[in-house]
With several copies, the nearest count.
Chain A
Amino acid sequence: MLKKKELTQTMAVATLLTLAYGGVAYAQSEADAISGPDTAYVLNTMLFLIGGFLVMWMAAGFAMLEAGMVRTKNVSMQCTKNIALFSVAGIAYWAVGYNLMYDGVDGGYLGSFTPKDIPATDADKGSYTAASDWFFQMVFCATAASIVSGTVAERIKLWPFLIFVVVLCGFIYPIQGAWKWGAGWLASGADTSWIKTVAGAEFQDFAGSTLVHSTGGWAALVGAILLGARAGKYGPNGQINPMPGSNVPLATLGTFILWLGWFGFNGGSQLAIGSIGDASAVSKIFMNTNLAAAGGVVAAIILTQLFYGKVDITMALNGALAGLVSITAEPLTPSPLWSIAVGAVGGVIVVFTVPLLDKMRIDDVVGAIPVHLLAGIWGTMIVPASNSDASFLAQAIGVGSIAAFVIVTSLVVWTILKFTIGLRPTEEQEAAGLDQAEIGLEAYPEFGSGSQRI
């Protein structure tokens, strides 16, 4: 962060001023005084807290999107999975995830296997508070888990899913995260570092197109393959049986929530707002993030209109999210126009790859693989086009190495679960719906076929 330098003079002045006339200032207000450096510290912390609660809100967005995209008989289960995953993700990321990702990685592959503890308020050093940092990083981790739940919906039992979430948030996500955000081997800034020597730049992933979204996407993809498709989804001789989501407005609400949360996701990833440069950066990120989402929607509605003669709202919603994922790897350097373009390509990816996955008989209930995995790769690989500090090779190395790691580790975990407690409910249970099988409460008990009024 080079703005460091610029500001030191300014700061000197500021301090002087406080020295000289601080007293006068006092006459103006009885609030505790705060000095220049502390102000930046507080502002950075507020960025994390505000950005963090916006990203936390994304958990509700995923819940609503998924509740709207699954069939009625699995809606209560999907709601349960979402509130439960956000809970276990938070605990796992405190118990081991955070320190595994950030504690002394130092150019290496992982940090320490220790729970995160928080210094006393008066010993809380750095550019922001320790707890605000944990909070902000935790909600990112939970996002990766939310991505998985959407893809494997309607056919996975609750407990094996939650166990996977524990491993994902406690180990898989933090380890690959350490490589870049933990200042590991993909990041290390020294010009002599392996990545720079080999690729001429470190791996760039501003807010996590790869670290968060592709990671969740890979885990979801592996899970979907091991699980197999929902019963009846694919007929003999390549027939595909659509299973329309049960509640379009809920899915729309979920998408709007995610869109809103993304301002915290990308904006907060600037990690600081306590200076003109940072404030300007965060603002530009807000603008680019919104334009990319808009580009994704517009691309999706135009393409579905052209191809199918009607606008597919579920594609439009996926398009918005794909646009957001695409810009996430680099929301700062692009021009507004470039942001629209990057997002629009995300929308295009959705429209083309959603049917493709069906052809491959990979059953992705909410379209999380096109949105988070494929658009995430696109967004990451296109960074060098707008950011001269990135190199295609470095991006490829990052995308590839993280892909390899997440695929292998999640494959191991999914497989163990499959052959121990098992992933899928029985056929009858799946037919009756997971709500009846594992939750015992219909989502809409008074209407729909299961009406309990009779």
Chain B
Amino acid sequence: MKLITAIIKPFKLDEVRAALTELGLEGMTVSEVKGYGRQKGHTEIYRGAEYAVNFLPKIKIEVAVADDAAEKAVGAITSSAHTGQIGDGKIFVSSIDSTVRIRTGETDDAAL
């Protein structure tokens, strides 16, 4: 199985979720992260002193999928999270050795 990790712009979450569910992927884990990259942050002035906000709010999505489903999923995320603006984010795909569904004890693909 593959673990697809996507860093996206927060307001794109719903579209991405929709795109994934369309593929029948109805499970994912999401968290709030801060991103640093080409997209530069903004500088603010607080009480007369300037400071830079370098880290920008991003959403991290983790989806575990069967090997054959990975490509489609990556494609779905890429298109649904795309704005063309700098800062759209990244997708990382890595391998999972094994998976367990805690409720049932099912393992691997059956656990997804």
Question: In the complex, A touching B, CB below 8 Å?
Answer: yes
Q: Are A354 and B48 in contact (CB under 8 A)?
A: yes
Which of A351, A358, A454 is B49 in contact with, Cβ under 8 Å? A358
Which of A440, A449, A452, A454 is B45 in contact with, Cβ under 8 Å? A440
Instruction: Tell me whether A130 is interfacial, beta carbon within 8 Å.
Output: no
Q: Are A242 and B10 in contact (CB under 8 A)?
A: no
What class of interface size applies to chain A in its complex with B? Answer: 20 to 34
Q: Are A310 and B49 in contact (CB under 8 A)?
A: no
Q: Are A314 and B47 in contact (CB under 8 A)?
A: yes
Q: Are A440 and B46 in contact (CB under 8 A)?
A: yes
A451-B32, A451-B34 given; A312·B47 CB < 8 A: yes
Which of B42, B45, B49 is A436 in contact with, Cβ under 8 Å? B42
> Which residues of chain B come closer than 8 Å to A453, judged between CB atoms?
10, 32
> Which residues of chain A come closer than 8 Å to B100, judged between CB atoms?
none
Residues B50-79 near A (CB distance < 8 A): 50-51, 53, 55, 57, 59
Instruction: Tell me whether B30 is interfacial, beta carbon within 8 Å.
Output: yes
Q: Are B45 and A312 in contact (CB under 8 A)?
A: yes
> Which residues of chain B come closer than 8 Å to A436, judged between CB atoms?
42, 44
Interface size for B (C-beta < 8 A) is: 20
Majority DSSP secondary structure for residues of B touching A: strand
Which of A315, A351, A358, A441 is B44 in contact with, Cβ under 8 Å? A441
Instruction: Tell me whether A400 is interfacial, beta carbon within 8 Å.
Output: no
Q: Are A454 and B30 in contact (CB under 8 A)?
A: yes
> Which residues of chain A come closer than 8 Å to B50, judged between CB atoms?
242
Instruction: Tell me whether A308 is interfacial, beta carbon within 8 Å.
Output: yes
Closest to B34 in A: A454
> Which residues of chain A come closer than 8 Å to B13, judged between CB atoms?
454
**Taking beta carbons and an 8 Å cutoff, which residues of B are in contact with A?**
10-11, 13, 30-32, 34, 42, 44-51, 53, 55, 57, 59
**Taking beta carbons and an 8 Å cutoff, which residues of A are in contact with B?**
240-242, 244, 308, 310, 312, 314-315, 351, 354-355, 358, 367, 431, 436, 440-441, 449-454
Task: List the 7 closest A-B pairs by CB distance, nearest first.
Answer: A355-B48, A242-B46, A240-B49, A440-B44, A449-B57, A454-B34, A308-B45
